[in-house]
Amino acid sequence: MASNTATGVASSDGNNRILISDSECDFILSGCRVDCRLDGRKRLEFRPYQILIPGGGNSNEQATSSDDLLPLSHGSARLMGSVGHTSTEEQQILCSVKAELVHPSALAPNQGVVELHLHGSSGSRHTKRDLEQAQDILSQLLVGRLVDTHALCITPGEFVWRLAVDVFVLEAAGGCLLDCAARVASAALAATRLPQVTAQPKTNPSSSSGSTEAETSEQQQNQNTLVVDGDYAKSQSIPLPTTTLVGANGPSTLSSSIVTVAVMQDFDLATKRPLYSLIVDATLAEEACALALIHVCVQLAHCNDDPKAPPTASIVGLHKTQQGALPIHLLPDITNTALEAAASASLAFSTVQPSPLLEENRQKQPKPNLSTLLQEQLQWVGEET
């Protein structure tokens, strides 16, 4: 009789280990092979998630400063979902977006800056090293494709917006951390409202006539003053990247997300040959049994002139984790699986508005004006200038 010995298997995040026996691993792999996973899902089926967004959305007529989930943030979103058989297996991720005015880099004087940081809690089951690895993957694959950085420029070479995207992993007992973090960050950026800021040249009549021409031009370049409009109704959302595809009927709006494809390896008892199964939205137990995890960044192009047209999907990047060697012949199947799953992922990640009780409690809190959030930053930038 074979004994079932508990074996520690490393999951996708490297140091986060769970205890799973060989028989449990064989049962999970067998279920993936016959397209019936442990929780009853098919291989390419996502679990249902809810993304809580501000009630006003992106509409200027309905948006108010009290709609934000986090009053001191320019944009926020929260992902929730019961992803297991018990109520303790939940996914809780909160995202906050804060904006500040900074001087641009000399290499990109007309582009804003987007920075993403991943934070954990005691209930997230992820160590600091795990979160740093996930943060690096998100920064390389996704951050630069979420917003149009050129639209974050106020004055080329002088003032641009810097967006600090902070993702707080409150609970991640269901696995699939990168996919959920990418979705909630994208939703928070879509709900972000930036105040209307204009740069006006400031004349200096007391300039000395003996100054050189180079000094005069440098003074004129740094004489711009920023005017912030604190009216929330005049605030603007962050534009998404746009492109014109070959053969498309006009410009298209781009949206990016991450789809993690787990490669499950099983063996045929008769031929002793490996059998591979590809699944998406893997649980922690499935990630522990996976040979490799392929994080695929999928970009969808939505035609602006024809909203009913299906989006055009393309792969713009991928990253592999786990220690298993990936057979090269599986790459076409992995990319096709990611493209197919990206089309149905939007139905699994549904966006909802806060409940009336939560909205009433939040409106009782004092809400600062958008312009007051930038007064210290403008003063600091002006002193540097």
From the list 295, 350, 339, 338, the residue with the least C-alpha distance to 318 is: 295
Tokens of 364: 């009782």
Summarize pLDDT for 271-319 with one digit per residue, the tens: 888 999 999 999 989 999 999 999 999 998 888 777 777 888 889 999 9
Tell me the C-alpha distance between 374 and 236, whole Å: 15
In this predicted structure, what is the pLDDT of residue 216? 52
User: Per DSSP, what are the bridge partners of residue 116?
Assistant: 165
Top-confidence residue, 150 or 87: 150
Q: How many CB atoms lie within 10 A of CB 105?
A: 10
- Could you tell me the pTM of the whole model? 0.80
Q: What is the DSSP string of 5-51?
A: -EEEEE-TTSS-EEEEEHHHHHHHHHHHHTT--TTS--TT-PPPEEE
Q: Which residue type occupies 367?
A: K
Mean residue pLDDT of the chain comes to: 78
From the list 343, 290, 292, the residue with the least C-alpha distance to 322 is: 292
Q: What is the mean pLDDT of residues 353-377?
A: 52
Summarize pLDDT for 194-213 with one digit per residue, the tens: 888 877 776 655 555 555 55
Tell me the C-alpha distance between 356 and 299, whole Å: 35
From the list 339, 219, 357, the residue with the least C-alpha distance to 278 is: 339
User: Per DSSP, what are the bridge partners of residue 376?
Assistant: none
Q: How many CB atoms lie within 10 A of CB 250?
A: 10
Q: Which residue type occupies 239?
A: P
Tell me the C-alpha distance between 257 and 145, whole Å: 9
In this predicted structure, what is the pLDDT of residue 144? 87
Tell me the C-alpha distance between 256 and 146, whole Å: 6
Q: Please tell me whether residue 272 adopts helix, strand or coil conformation.
A: coil
Tell me the C-alpha distance between 50 and 285, whole Å: 22
In this predicted structure, what is the pLDDT of residue 240? 78
Torsion of CA 336, 339, 343, 345, to 10 degrees: 100
H or E element, residue 265: strand 252-267
Q: How many CB atoms lie within 10 A of CB 368?
A: 11
Residue 219: pLDDT above 90? no
From the list 368, 358, 367, the residue with the least C-alpha distance to 55 is: 358
Tell me the C-alpha distance between 30 and 28, whole Å: 5
Summarize pLDDT for 50-60 with one digit per residue, the tens: 999 876 444 44
Cβ contact 315:296 at 8 Å: yes
Tell me the C-alpha distance between 196 and 236, whole Å: 7
> What residues does each domain of the chain span?
23-202+220-384
Q: What is the mean pLDDT of residues 216-242?
A: 68
The CATH number of the domain covering residues in 23-202+220-384? 3.30.230.70
H or E element, residue 314: strand 312-321
Q: Pairing mode, if any, of strands 113-120 and 159-172?
A: parallel
- CA-CA-CA-CA torsion sign (224, 230, 234, 240): positive
